[in-house]
Amino acid sequence: SATMCLTKQTIKKAITKKTKAILYVCAYGNVSDLDAMASYAKSQKIFLINDCAPALFGSYKNRPIASYGDFSVLSFFADKTITTGEGGMLLSNNIALINKVNMYKHDGRRERGVDVIEYKGYNFRITELQAAVGVAQLKKAAYFVKRKKEILRSYSKKLSGINSVRLFTFNSDGAIVPHRVVIFVPSAKHLIAYLASLGIGVRNMFMPMHSMPAYDTKGDFPNTQEIFKTGVCLPSAPSLTDKNIEFICQSIKKFYA
């Protein structure tokens, strides 16, 4: 998919009688046709998990991206739109599901102060200090979103005309918050090495899951492999200055001159 996200068509090809859930990932804040995905999951009576960690504050056809799915998952890691350092959040309209999840994150207990463990749970509670940081970050969210979009526009303007560089474009059907600015080039590793030598903090795309030692999934995923070989994530933090962006873009132009 040109969106780097799952589509109804890709799911239909992969689904079996054993399929219990669809894990939908909003790649770098982007989405495909979420309405079609949600409708298909419902028609097949399959759980839809919406990993919209990088897509917070984004919308698709005037509906919040985080509102799709049986539940959606957010991350507040350091590079997300708002951060608590670490930690995350689960959203759902299903109160029974939320109540059960709260037990799993609290050592299998129903509430604090109760020592009866009903399920095998985990200690996934965010600290009150982290929560306070998150509340403070919410007050800055509008600025962060605005700056992210400005940075994407600036890169788009300054990188235009470089034949070896293609800027990843986000779904025009939504008000997408670009989590990262992504470009595609002939060889990601060569450009990354060059920019790193200049002190520019770039990184490659996420390593394909099927090639991770922990999973070692059998199969051929040519699109995923091509994205990994050619995709480069450029610096895109809200603190990035126009001078920083100019230096990065001029360095890329010099590399391909």
Q: Spell out the domain ranges in the chain.
A: 8-138, 142-255
- What is the CATH code of the structural domain delimited by 8-138? 3.40.640.10
Helices (H), the chain: 8-14, 34-43, 95-105, 128-138, 141-159, 188-197, 222-230, 242-255
- The DSSP annotation for 47-115 comes to EEEEE-TT-TT-EETTEEGGG-SSEEEEE-BTTSSS--BS-EEEE-S-HHHHHHHHHHHBTT-SSTT--
Beta bridge partners of 74: 89
Residue-level pLDDT at 113: 79
- What is the distance between the alpha carbons of residues 109 and 114, in angstroms, rounded to a whole number? 7
Confidence of residue 1 (pLDDT cuts 50, 70, 90): low
What are the angstrom distances between the C-alpha of 194 and each of 191, 213, 253? 5, 28, 12
The residue to which tokens 């040109």 are assigned: 2
pLDDT digits (tens, 9 = 90+) for 118-152: 989 999 989 999 999 999 999 999 999 999 999 99
Question: Residues 159-167: what's their mean pLDDT?
Answer: 95
Dihedral sign, Cα of residue 106, residue 107, residue 110, residue 112: negative
CATH, domain 142-255, list 1.10.357.10, 3.40.50.720, 1.20.59.10, 3.90.1150.10: 3.90.1150.10
pLDDT digits (tens, 9 = 90+) for 98-122: 999 999 999 999 887 788 999 899 9
- What is the distance between the alpha carbons of residues 11 and 22, in angstroms, rounded to a whole number? 8
pLDDT digits (tens, 9 = 90+) for 52-79: 999 999 999 999 999 999 999 999 999 9
Question: What is the average pLDDT value for the chain, to the nearest integer?
Answer: 94
Residue-level pLDDT at 69: 96
> Residue 69: which of 55, 51, 44 has the closest Cα?
51
Question: Residues 185-189: what's their mean pLDDT?
Answer: 98
Say if residue 27's pLDDT is above 70. yes
Question: Residues 33-43: what's their mean pLDDT?
Answer: 96
> Residue 25: which of 74, 84, 64 has the closest Cα?
74
**Residue 114: both structure tokens together:** 């109760």
Say if residue 5's pLDDT is above 90. yes
